[in-house]
Structure 1
């Protein structure tokens, strides 16, 4: 079971079925905000959908395909982060994240993603971490920029968001860069 204490206020951990109602309430309360950048909101419209997401995330974790963790701030679920995909052949992890709007601007996401990167390089023994964010999503792009990632390119029309395509900016950092001061 994945559990990572980021600091005295922030904990990252796998969700379990006891978190179903909290996850659904968080998504539902943030739905209008999250919909601008996340393509899966229409697939999570009931508590049962959130329960199925938790079960699926756990199965992927058990099969070492991904690692999806809840962000708990003072023991309250406020968002998610993790490796949406783990490429073991090439030792690459692809990080994704989201947080409820009322918890933005407090440094919680930056600290959480930094912890996930540390875990990826030190425990999972990854060689590279990628973060992809919509070109116009300035808040999401600020995380890898703040953490010393390099901008490696832009993919045109990389993601379909309900009624339009968005471009993605690709950010990457290598293990040796991270361990030798890129942070």
Structure 2
């Protein structure tokens, strides 16, 4: 299996980051396909903002890049945001941009590393959640394999290519994660 690292986005990543995020990439079919996606022009604008921020040293992000540990090649990205800062509830996400790396266990390894890191760096977090749609079978399987519990199913909440799918939310409490990973 490919060894991976989680690291910040750097200036030299931008060409590859742009190529891997193009609207034609396959991951868009699974990563929130019910939302409006960036156009090529919007992506170029986002890359330019990233370039300016990285050059100026003002780039700040909760996200980390998933990279090949041996070659530093970009593979994907892990993310987090506060679902409810008031209740210390963090929501996470993952995307494997590069389909050459799909079905190799990288998502499992990266998301496990990410959850470990977030619980270690944020003492206040009591729970971590992950939301996807029922048509994203790989993400559902990943959440369950990691030990996240199905906490909510919003029936027929997402429309993809004219078909309704459920929105599904998974979560894990800090004490559950720690007990599983002793």
When the two structures are aligned, how many residues end up with a matched partner? 169
CA RMSD of superposed structures (Å): 3.0
Quote the residue 2:79 is aligned against.
82
For residues 151 and 178 of structure 1, the distance between their equivalents in structure 2, rounded to whole angstroms, comes to 15
Residue-by-residue CA offset, 1:120-168 (whole Å, 9 max, x unaligned): 1111121101011111110111111000011011124545668776431
State the structure with more CA Rg.
2
* CA distance in structure 1 between the aligned counterparts of 2:175 and 2:142, rounded to whole angstroms: 19
Output the TM-score relative to the length of structure 2. Answer: 0.78
Q: Which consecutive residues of structure 1, in runs of 5 or more, have no partner in the other structure?
A: 1-7, 62-66
Task: Provide the secondary structure at the position in 2 that maps to 1:35.
Answer: helix
Pick closer, same or farther for the CA change 1:51–1:87 going to 2, 3 Å: farther
SS of 1:94's partner is strand
Q: Is the 8 A contact 1:13 1:69 kept in 2?
A: yes
Q: Conserved in 1, the CA contact under 8 Å of 2:82 and 2:88?
A: no
Q: Is the 1:70–1:80 contact (alpha carbons within 8 Å) kept by the matching residues of 2?
A: yes
Distance 1:156 1:22 in 2: 37
Using structure 1 for the length normalisation, give the TM-score. Answer: 0.77
Higher relative contact order (CA 8 A, sep 6+): 2
In structure 2, what is the equivalent of residue 15 of structure 1?
9
